[in-house]
Amino acid sequence: MAASVMPAFAQGEVTLYTTREAGLVQPLLTAFTATTGTKVNTVFVKDGLLERVKAEGARSPADVLMTVDIGNLMDLVEGGVTQPVKSAGLNSAIPANLRGADGQWFALSLRARVLYADKDLKLGAFRYEDLADPKWKGKVCIRAGQHPYNTALVASMIAHDGEAKTEQWLQGVKANLARKATGGDRDVARDILGGICDVGLANSYYVGQMKSAKEGTDARKWGDAIQVVRPTFANGKSGGTHVNISGASVAKNAPNRDNAVKLLEFLVSESAQALYADANYEYPVRKGVALDPIIGKTIGELKVDPLPLTEIAKHRKQASVLIDKVGFDK
Ligand code: FE
Say yes or no: 40 and 91 in one domain.
yes
The 10s digit of each residue's pLDDT in 47-98 is 999 999 999 999 999 999 999 999 999 999 999 999 999 999 999 999 999 9
Number of domains in the chain: 2
| Domain membership flag for residue 299 | no
CA of 115 to the centre of ligand 1 (A): 15
Say yes or no: 201 and 258 in one domain.
no
Say yes or no: 171 and 22 in one domain.
no
Say yes or no: 186 and 321 in one domain.
yes
pLDDT at 316: 94
- Residue with more model confidence, 239 or 183: 183
Say yes or no: 152 and 179 in one domain.
yes
Say yes or no: 74 and 190 in one domain.
no
Cβ–Cβ under 8 Å, residues 137 and 175: yes
Say yes or no: 181 and 317 in one domain.
yes
| Percent share of the chain, pLDDT over 70 | 96
pLDDT at 255: 97
Residue 240's closest CA among 306, 174, 288, 194? 306
Say yes or no: 81 and 168 in one domain.
no
DSSP bridge partners of 112: 243
Cα 219 to Cα 26, 190, 199, 213, 248, distances in angstroms:
25, 8, 17, 6, 30
Range(s) of the domain holding residue 234: 111-240+309-325
Say yes or no: 121 and 92 in one domain.
no
Say yes or no: 130 and 196 in one domain.
yes
The 10s digit of each residue's pLDDT in 172-191 is 999 999 999 999 999 999 99
**Mean pLDDT, the chain, integer:** 94
CA of 271 to the centre of ligand 1 (A): 23
Query: What is the distance between the alpha carbons of residues 312 and 74, in angstroms, rounded to a whole number?
Result: 11
CA of 256 to the centre of ligand 1 (A): 31
The 10s digit of each residue's pLDDT in 278-322 is 888 999 999 999 999 999 999 999 999 999 999 999 999 999 999
| Domain membership flag for residue 105 | yes
Say which CATH number the domain at 35 has: 3.40.190.10
CA of 60 to the centre of ligand 1 (A): 28
pLDDT at 236: 62
User: Would you give the end-to-end CA distance of the chain in angstroms?
Assistant: 54
Give the global pTM.
0.92
CA of 210 to the centre of ligand 1 (A): 13
Say yes or no: 316 and 183 in one domain.
yes
The 10s digit of each residue's pLDDT in 9-56 is 557 999 999 999 999 899 999 999 999 999 999 999 999 999 999 999
CA of 146 to the centre of ligand 1 (A): 14
pLDDT at 170: 98
CA of 265 to the centre of ligand 1 (A): 25
CA of 36 to the centre of ligand 1 (A): 31
| Domain membership flag for residue 298 | no
pLDDT at 306: 93
Say yes or no: 119 and 181 in one domain.
yes
